[in-house]
Amino acid sequence: MSKIKLNVLGISYSQTQSGAYALVLAEEGGERRIPIIIGGFEAQAIAIQLEGLKPPRPLTHDLFLSFASAFGISIVEINIYKLEEGVFYSKLICDDGEKQMTVDARTSDAIALALRFSCSIYTTEDILAKSGIVIDIEPESKENKPTSSSKLFSDPSPGKGRPADELRDLTLNELKQMLQDAVKNENYERASDIRDEINRRKKKS
């Protein structure tokens, strides 16, 4: 059965489940998207890697990477191989230099590991046909795109000021120091807000 490569498109708040998030995978070279509902912890693990944030202490998926690397094991690819009653099933294809091994994994964990091992993510045409949707996205507009990982933990509650408002009057050096402090204290929600403001200013300069 032919494999279809997927890329991580983004993460957005789930519109159907409170406290959950939708991880969106995109068909490479195609228009179909696969939304997968994941929990907050898994969403955070994926967002941190997408944003290039380095926690002072290893998170679970970082520990897995260090442990596997210490024993010469790598993940060569991720396969999302089954969809049953709305649940996606995945497996890790691992290699120790002599043989390949297959390990079962939750899809959210598999994606978080794929990002850390820089390996490809694949699925089948059958799964794409069952779960793939076409999302119309205007080329010049970001309004309809899934929320970027840097926006993942912004408070969606109405009535609260935008994070950029409270950071707007700070200098770039102050923002960079705050970013380091937020990461050091493992406050990734705050770190994402600060990273947004820094990137906004870089685009203006």
Least confident of 22-31, 72-81, 90-99: 22-31
Q: What is the mean pLDDT of residues 79-107?
A: 95
Residues 112-151 have pLDDT tens digits of 999 999 999 999 999 998 888 875 544 433 444 444 444 4
Task: Please give the pLDDT value at position 123.
Answer: 97
Residues 5-44 have pLDDT tens digits of 999 988 887 666 777 888 989 999 998 999 898 988 899 8
Secondary structure of the chain as H, E, C letters: CCEEEEEEEEEEECCCCCCCEEEEEEECCCCEEEEEEECHHHHHHHHHHHHCCCCCCCCHHHHHHHHHHHCCCEEEEEEEEEEECCEEEEEEEEECCCCEEEEEEEHHHHHHHHHHHCCEEEEEHHHHHHHCEECCCCCCCCCCCCCCHHHCCCCCCCCCCCHHHHHCCCCHHHHHHHHHHHHHCCCHHHHHHHHHHHHHHHHHC
